[in-house]
Amino acid sequence: MRNPDRAFETLRDLHVAALTGSLIDGVAHGPGGAGYVWSRGIPDPTLNFAYGVRRPDQFAWAGAAALGRARAPAFLARDAAEVALLRGLFEPAILDPVRWMVARPLPAPSRPDVAITVRAAPAPGPDFEGVFANLSDDPAVRTHLRRTYLPALRGARGRTGVTAFHLVLRDATGPAACGSLYLRGDTAALYNVGTRADRQRRGLGTAVTIAALRAAQARGAGQVFCQVFLHRPAGAALAALCARTGFRTVCAPTLLCTSPS
C-alpha cells in the first residue's frame, strides 16, 4: 500500500464491506465518485458519513443524503488537502482525527490465565453481548450501546465474501473482553475490541487483540486492519493498544462533523 490514495480506497472499501449487514446498512453513490455510508439504527457520524466530496455539487448531494436519513452531515476526508477543500464549503463543529492501522499477524504467546473462544457467525452471541454492553461505567454510554449497537450486532446477517468471527475472552470472573474479526480475502478487519469496565487495565484488551491476530493468521489473512477515532474518549487508549500489538498507521483521514454530538 505504498500509494496513499490507493491505500485509502482499499481500506475504506474493506471497512464498509466488513460492517455492511451489521453496523452499516448501505452505501449511496453520488456524483463524481462521492458516496454516503449510512446506518439505519445507529446515529453516530462514525457510521454515517460521506466520502469523496470535493465540490459544491457533491457537498449538496451528501448533505441531502444525510438529512434524508435524519442524520447530521459528516464527511470523511482522506488527507489535509481534502480537509481544506471541505472547510472551504462549511465550518465543522468537530474535526475527529482517524487512524487506519494495519498489522501483519504473527504468532504470539497466549496468556495461560485466560480462555478465548472464537465464534464463526454473523451475530456474536450472548457472552459477547454481556461484555459489549458493559464496556463503560458511564450509564449514558451503556444505554447507547444497548439501544443502538447491540440490536445491530444481534441482527447481523451474512454477506457474500465476508466471514465474521467474534471472540470472547474469559478470565476467573467469566466473560471479560471481546472483539470481532471480519475476513475478506487475505485481509481481516478488527472491530469491537473492548473490556468490561470492571476488568479494565489488566491487559485483557491486549490479550484478545493478540488472539484476533492469531485467528486471522490461522484463517489465511496476511494483514489485519483496525480503525481508531482519536477524538473519542477511548481513542488514545485503543491507538496505544494497537501499537503495542504490531499495528502501524497506514492512512490518517479526518472526520468532519456538522454537529457537536
Examine the domain organization and report whether 85 and 116 are in the same domain. Answer: no
209 occurs within a structural domain: yes
Task: Indicate whether 90 and 153 sit together in one domain.
Answer: no
Task: Judge whether 39 lies within some domain.
Answer: yes
Question: Which pLDDT band holds residue 105 (cuts at 50, 70, 90)?
Answer: confident
The pLDDT tens digits for 196-252 are 999 999 999 999 999 999 999 999 999 999 999 987 777 788 899 999 999 999 999
Asked if residue 202 and residue 169 are part of one domain, the reply reads: yes
| Boundary (domain end) residue, out of 69, 101, 133 | 101
Any domain includes 213: yes
pLDDT band at 111 (very low <50, low <70, confident <90, very high): confident
Tell me, yes or no, whether 27 and 81 share the same domain.
yes
| Domain membership flag for residue 125 | yes
| pTM for the whole structure | 0.92
Q: Is 226 part of any domain?
A: no
pLDDT score for 112: 81
Last residue of one domain, picked from the residues 48, 69, 101 = 101
On average, the pLDDT of the chain sits at 94
For residues 24-33, average pLDDT? 97
**Does residue 246 lie within any of the structural domains?**
no
Give residue 237's pLDDT.
86
Taking 80 as the threshold, does the pLDDT of residue 110 lie above it?
no
Regarding whether 54 and 116 lie in a shared domain, the answer is: no
Residue 11 lies in a domain: yes
Report the distance separating Cα 232 and Cα 23, nearest Å.
18
Q: Are residues 97 and 165 in the same domain?
A: no
Number of domain units in the chain:
2
Q: In this structure, are 69 and 125 located in the same domain? A: no
Domain-terminating residue out of 52, 79, 101? 101
pLDDT value at 5 more than 70: no
What mean pLDDT comes out for the span 34-59?
97
Looking at the structure, tell me whether residues 111 and 59 fall in a common domain.
Answer: no
For residue 193, what are the domain limits?
105-221
The CATH number that applies at residue 196 is 3.40.630.30
Q: For residues 120-129, give the mean pLDDT.
A: 97
Task: Report the percent of the chain where pLDDT is more than 70.
Answer: 97
88 and 196 housed in the same domain: no
Identify whether residues 113 and 215 lie together within a single domain: yes
Check residue 3 and give its pLDDT: 58
- Residue 171 included in any domain: yes
Q: Does residue 86 sit in the same domain as residue 126?
A: no
For residue 34, pLDDT over 60 is answered with: yes
Mean pLDDT of 140-144: 96
Q: What pLDDT was estimated at residue 164?
A: 97
110 in the same domain as 194: yes
